[in-house]
Amino acid sequence: MSRFLSERLQSLKAYVPGEQPKVRNLIKLNTNESPFPPAPGVKEAVAAAADSLQLYNDLAAAKLTRLLAETYGLHENQITVSNGSDEILAFAFQAFGGNGLAFPDITYGFYPVWAALFGLDAKIIPLDADFNVNAADYKGNDRCVVIANPNAPTGKALPLSALRNIAEKNPDQAVIVDEAYVDFGGESALALVPEFDNVLVVRTFSKSRQLAGGRLGFAMGNAALIDDLNRVRFSFHPYNVNTLTQAAGAAALEQPEYFEACRQAIAETRAWTVEQLKDLGFRVLDSKANFVFASAPGMGGGEYQKALRERNILVRYFDLPRTRGFTRISIGTKEQMAALIQATREILT
């Protein structure tokens, strides 16, 4: 820390992302990326877009936004795109968190960091004993609600009825639904957008569309909510989604069959992995995401993570009171998961 750091940032604890090692032969199951390559056509679209890199990128991201509108059955003014969904979430916290925020104790670790960075008060609402979000806990709340659905790192999902309930019971607050993992089996709050002016759905191309390194996210909601987000964006960084990423995102959306095939492969491999882990005596939470949150028999989450690391397999561990017994394992290819199960057998014997 230098002598110059603003006082209000001196106690800020930054978010710690999962390891991104450059070592070969590692099986990387720690940051919920897709194990599959970008969609066919993405590389060519990026190469073609590079021809105009001397120019600023399209502020409206017109093609990408039009394709998103078609894909999700919305009007273009109900969508805005961002440099990863982390950015749009940060904009939303600033736009709608003025009266404070409410989110679960166990959820995406970035929420408390943004709250602290922007000086917003955070009310932490514990998940129940089985790691469920209890919609009734958010009733008549006086602040912006943030729900990751499916939740991270538990993988558990709320049904649409519960999200509707939260939206209904908080008519004067924005309800941000972070759907980073919804493509893997959750129910989307998108169905609420035509009916509720307070529901903002946030999505990313990082987990289910093979573009984590491209940094592309988007938000969908009532046109006035989207306007508010653009107000923050135009007060910070209007050119937030670069030319190459816009081209990559549009090309990915033009391959719906590839998207389907990838998410089906993940769902199948997840089912197989859960079965194998349960056979080995693990407790595995019911996951609707591209990862599982699992507790190894007779072993802490950190201990299991370390043992896997020694066998060149990376997974994620959250050293907090309620999550210490668990390890979060991203769903990779079938081969990667077979290697994880094999290594786990060795560790347990």
Residues near ligand PLP, by CB under 6 A: 32, 84-86, 108, 148, 152, 178, 180, 204, 206-207, 212, 217
Q: How far is the CB of 118 from ligand PLP (least distance, A)?
A: 17
- Identity of the residue, 210 or 276, whose beta carbon is nearer to ligand PLP in the bound complex: 210
Residue 63 vs residues 66, 103, 242, 267: alpha-carbon distances, Å = 5, 34, 13, 30
Q: Is 104 left (phi over 0), alpha (psi -120 to 50) or beta?
A: beta
- Identity of the residue, 212 or 284, whose beta carbon is nearer to ligand PLP in the bound complex: 212
- Identity of the residue, 186 or 301, whose beta carbon is nearer to ligand PLP in the bound complex: 186
- Identity of the residue, 83 or 170, whose beta carbon is nearer to ligand PLP in the bound complex: 83
Cβ–Cβ < 8 Å for 85, 270? no
Residue partners of 37: CB distance under 8 A and separation at least 6: 210
Pairing between strand 144-148 and 327-330? unpaired
Cβ–Cβ < 8 Å for 279, 53? no
Q: Is 54 left (phi over 0), alpha (psi -120 to 50) or beta?
A: alpha
- Identity of the residue, 86 or 187, whose beta carbon is nearer to ligand PLP in the bound complex: 86
Residue partners of 329: CB distance under 8 A and separation at least 6: 29, 273, 291, 292, 293, 294, 315, 316, 340
- Identity of the residue, 86 or 183, whose beta carbon is nearer to ligand PLP in the bound complex: 86
Residue partners of 61: CB distance under 8 A and separation at least 6: 81, 241, 246
Q: How far is the CB of 203 from ligand PLP (least distance, A)?
A: 8
Pairing between strand 144-148 and 101-104? parallel
Q: How far is the CB of 86 from ligand PLP (least distance, A)?
A: 3
Q: Which amino acid is at 57?
A: N
**Apex CA 129: angle with CA 317 and CA 315, to 5°?**
15
Q: How far is the CB of 202 from ligand PLP (least distance, A)?
A: 7
| Tokens at 223, concatenated | 């046109």
Q: How far is the CB of 178 from ligand PLP (least distance, A)?
A: 5
Q: How far is the CB of 51 from ligand PLP (least distance, A)?
A: 26
- Identity of the residue, 78 or 85, whose beta carbon is nearer to ligand PLP in the bound complex: 85
Q: How far apart are CA 90 and CA 240, in angstroms?
A: 13
Q: How far is the CB of 32 from ligand PLP (least distance, A)?
A: 6
- Identity of the residue, 29 or 212, whose beta carbon is nearer to ligand PLP in the bound complex: 212
Q: How far is the CB of 108 from ligand PLP (least distance, A)?
A: 4
